[in-house]
Structure 1
Amino acid sequence: MLDELRAMSREGRLELSVHDYFDDDALWNYLIGLDVSVLPYRFGTHSGWLEACYDLGTTVLAPSCGFYPQQRPCLTYGHDRQGLDAESLRDAVRTAYEERPVRRADPVERGAERFRIARAHETLYAGLL
């Protein structure tokens, strides 16, 4: 798949960025500058990358494995331990391009959500002690 993406990049069909680790500021700037971020996972449950993209308003294409669509609003494509559904990935990319969905967290709601989660953890931990 990476070879195919590199070929598409050479043809000018997409901009492929392969890079070293970013510090926080560089990562936020990178994510804000993306038209779409494709999560390449074949297994897993949740993604901090998806959370960051949601906070910044960057469109995410998430695989069908795990619980990514339940975690945050995103476009999905077929990708799990059985393999990649390339047609559904093309469809998701096309949807992202044509519709330009913006799914961005409301900062006030995110603050309230963090407060609710912290209280729930506090209650759980206090009950376990």
Structure 2
Amino acid sequence: MRTPHNEQGPKVIKQLVGMGYVVVSHNVDSGDSDIDGAGNPGTQAVIEFDKSISHHRGASPKTHSFITLHNEWVENGHSGIQAIVQKYRKLGYTFVTVGECLGQPNPKSWYRVRDFKKLA
């Protein structure tokens, strides 16, 4: 589970873990919430994402992985994510779901600790 607005104080984490959830966060904010209505949203999304990735010096698909935070803004969401995926696939990155990152490709088994006994 990714907590709403990425609010995850210790009490929230403890409660969610107690309920059997695996709590995930991001290590890259895509910057898509900073995109305004001017210009091409796909191009702007790539520019903002590049800025976020630049904080990870020397990042490469062989040595780095990222969990990104994207806001589901209707105005830029689809074209922005599509543009980011196209660019970073060409650089060798692979895009997967959080479940796949945790070794659980079947959506029916996502996010409950009971399904991740190997990780505990």
Same fold flag (TM > 0.5):
no
Higher share in helix: 1
Higher relative contact order (CA 8 A, sep 6+): 2
Question: TM-score normalized by structure 1?
Answer: 0.31
Question: TM-score normalized by structure 2?
Answer: 0.33
> If you compute each CA radius of gyration, which structure gives the higher value, 1 or 2?
1
